[in-house]
Structure 1
Amino acid sequence: MKRFLTTLILAATALLCSAVHAHKPSDSYLTLKVSDKTIEGQWDIALRDLDFAIGLDQDGNGELTWGEIRSRHHDIAAYALGRLIFSNAGTNCPITAGEQLIDNHSDGAYSVLRFTASCSASIAHLDVDYRLLFDIDPQHRGLLHLQSGGQASTAIFSPGSAHQTLELREASKLAQFGDFVVTGIWHIWKGIDHILFLLSLLLPAVLKLGDKIGDRERRPSDSFKASFIDVLKIVTAFTLAHSITLTLATLQVISLPSRWVESAIAASVVLAALNNLFPLVQGKRWVVAFAFGLIHGFGFASVLTDLGLPQSALLLALVGFNLGVEIGQLAIVSVFLPLAYAMRRTRFYRSAVVTFGSGLIVLIATVWLVERVFDLTIFSVSA
């Protein structure tokens, strides 16, 4: 048992250390307009991803200039379009690269590659083979927005669904809804800052502070019901809060600068983890979950905002994405709570998991906070 627990904490430590490099998950945004035999496309790819893949930073100073990017336009086009294949009726549609621009998304600068593709026959079913970055980043996702005949549809490419056949009629609402649910699940699972914030609030749920005034020592909870209710309050408050701001931001009722949002999210992780080391808020951690959940909602909204969805698809996307986030959260909680409750009486849980784990989270989130506030890169591989 001791060997198992030791292995578990080492694995958790390795996971948390890898989280130092976590910002917004890697996504690209592919927009296609199909008319008869012709495809007009725009592909937004993060410069940080292209730099990692083909090395755009020629002088190695950690900063990309317009001159460095412009000099590599041919290489960018060759790299990206070599990993995208269109075919119709079994015949490939040759792709021709067009102009390249730079645009800012919620998480930084993107290369905007425009292109055209010509097929030999009118397109009724478009086969798309998407392979960008999968060989070096298996968590990368390609988010596609397809327009044809006044209708719009979406698709999500991942290593497990790199080849898809797209119908050029209005896609099934149910299928689109399912795509956005999957996007929401992946976003919460890949959004390590969101996960660490939630876990920081949940770690003390199976413990209780002493009854005496000034007694800050945590002891094992005697009731699974009490721990469950505590977790339920935290998750419900976090869900309600981020659902509010996710909706407001996606509908563009409220818009906050991405840098402010990402910095505040990092600060929320620091404060939640510090509270485990120096308990100031114990019985009402759900209040903390609600307050900072409002900020996290703006972070969730960045994915839907960057997709540039038409108004007709916003409600479907919003509901599906939010449901996916909740499913992802509940999956995490359903694994965490039974394990935490089973280990609550062990010194391993109170010392290694809660104390050491919270301290490690503070350090990681502090790195994020400094990077995001001052717009710098402490670790060169930060994403």
Structure 2
Amino acid sequence: MREVLVDGSVDELGKALAEALEGGPAVLPLTPGSDELRKAMAPHEPVEPGTAVIIATSGSTGEPKGVLLSADALRASATATHQRLGGPGHWLLATPAQYIGGVQVIVRALLAGSTLASLPPGRFTGDLFAEAAAPIVAKDGPRYTALVPTQLTRILDAGGAGLAAAKAFDAIIIGAAATSAGLRERAAEAGVTIVPAYGMSETASGCVYDGVALDGVRVELASDGRILINGPVLTHGYRLRPDLTAEAFTDGWFRTGDRGQFTDGRLEVLGRIDDVINTGGVKVSAAAVERVLTGCPGVRESCVVGLPDPEWGELVAAAVVAEGPRPDVAVLRAAVRESAGAAAVPKRVEFVEALPLRGPGKVDRSAVVAKIFHPIG
């Protein structure tokens, strides 16, 4: 196993990935200070056969695990992505390189033999994005990058050089978190071409683009609405965890932790299987309430969680990031009541400057509960 610390330049990671794709040592990308994740990966134990990359992640449960990806899975994902976007192109790496989204940007550029530029880790602004994008924007041929919704929002808010650079990309993949209808509209109005993607480490990054599976990927729904995925992009298991591997796969199908539905032939992700809040005997989807709230004027982001309650069992609580002046809570509650029913109306609403994150753009729900709702008074 070849450990690569991702801190600043991604040259070393690019070289390691190039070797891994050709049968070299498996690559474990890490950031300085990620000692617990490193320890969980047992770097001195033999690597599972056929592994090119190990993505160390705490996942949605907080339990450290290593997702094993073969060179074939990485190649299949990158090739299908280029086919869907319009052919091989030049890439800007603008998300953390230790996660699958960042790794795949590098892999795509390697397989295309094209230019790869990168945004230094840390603070993200429209001007910094424009500066990093300059080498890509100057190239002929398709230009691509991948962002999380928060990054795109900042670019649209700031305008100027960052927005001009974003408009120069032939496609910007938006992943890691759901892309709201409002953000889609803002991007379209600004002339920015975005492609919302759904995927995870276990699928070698995005495998469903704008609701349609990539070539070679099959998506079905289980009886409970759970999203099932099959295809050459899948992981072949979890690092030293055959129990988790057996639990995640059924007859070659990967059992995600997400619920979905098909609307006009396109997959719509409805939220996590475990995001259901049981309040007064009524089951409420946290994701459904979040969609209503983020569709309200004056709301940029929201996170809905269930809090223990002696009367209701759980009560619905919403953390809201306002866009400009805070919207009237009564208006927000009325919108939820109309769209999702009385049981879904948040009994607690807290306005915050930003939602706590884990990983690139993913809201940390446990931190929302602990840091926003538990410290009362």
Tell whether the structures are fold-level matches, with TM greater than 0.5: no
Larger Rg: 1
Query: Of Structure 1 and Structure 2, which has the larger fraction of its residues in strand?
Result: 2
- Tell me the TM-score normalized by structure 1: 0.28
Query: Of Structure 1 and Structure 2, which has the larger fraction of its residues in helix?
Result: 1
* Larger relative contact order (Cα-Cα within 8 Å, sequence gap ≥ 6): 1
- Tell me the TM-score normalized by structure 2: 0.28
